[in-house]
């Protein structure tokens, strides 16, 4: 097991989400994975973690966040279109005041 301590104990399970896959190799990066990510310590004569490993992980996180924000924007647009269509349908099919008053 890599060095470091584990933060939190929640395990997030990916829901089955249709649509595009994230950029990180087709796998969704979940918060529990980010929280539990550990990096190798660098070799003799240096202190800290491997900068290349950290950079690769940050690239993956950034890519997945970009994908997620794109999905959110797309779903908001879709939601607005559906709401507009529903309002339009309701306006066309709602009874008028004249219909409610019993005039024909």
Tens digit of pLDDT for each residue in 53-93?
Answer: 988 888 888 888 889 989 999 999 999 999 999 999 988 88
Under 8 Å between Cβ of 3 and 17: no
56-86 as b/e: b if 16+ CB within 10 A:
ebeebeeebeebeeeeeeeeeeeeeeeeeee
pTM of the model: 0.53
Whether 22 shows a pLDDT value over 90: the answer reads: no
38-54 residue pLDDT tens: 888 887 777 888 888 98
Under 8 Å between Cβ of 26 and 60: no
Of 68, 3, 71, 2, the residue nearest 31 (C-alpha): 68
CA distance 84 to 2: 52
Give the residue, 7 or 102, on which the prediction is more confident: 102
The predicted pLDDT at position 97 comes to 67
Measured at the CA of 41, the angle between CA 36 and CA 44, to 5 degrees, comes to 175
């Amino acid at each position: 097991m890599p060095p470091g301590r584990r933060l939190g104990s929640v395990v997030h399970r990916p829901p089955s989400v249709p649509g595009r896959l994230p950029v990180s190799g087709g796998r969704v990066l979940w918060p529990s994975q980010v929280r539990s990510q550990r990096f190798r310590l660098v070799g003799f004569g240096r202190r800290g973690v491997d900068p290349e490993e950290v950079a690769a992980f940050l690239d993956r996180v950034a890519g997945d966040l970009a994908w997620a924000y794109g999905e959110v924007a797309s779903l908001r647009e879709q939601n607005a279109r559906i709401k507009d269509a529903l309002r339009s349908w309701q306006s066309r099919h709602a009874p008028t005041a004249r219909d409610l008053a019993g005039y024909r």
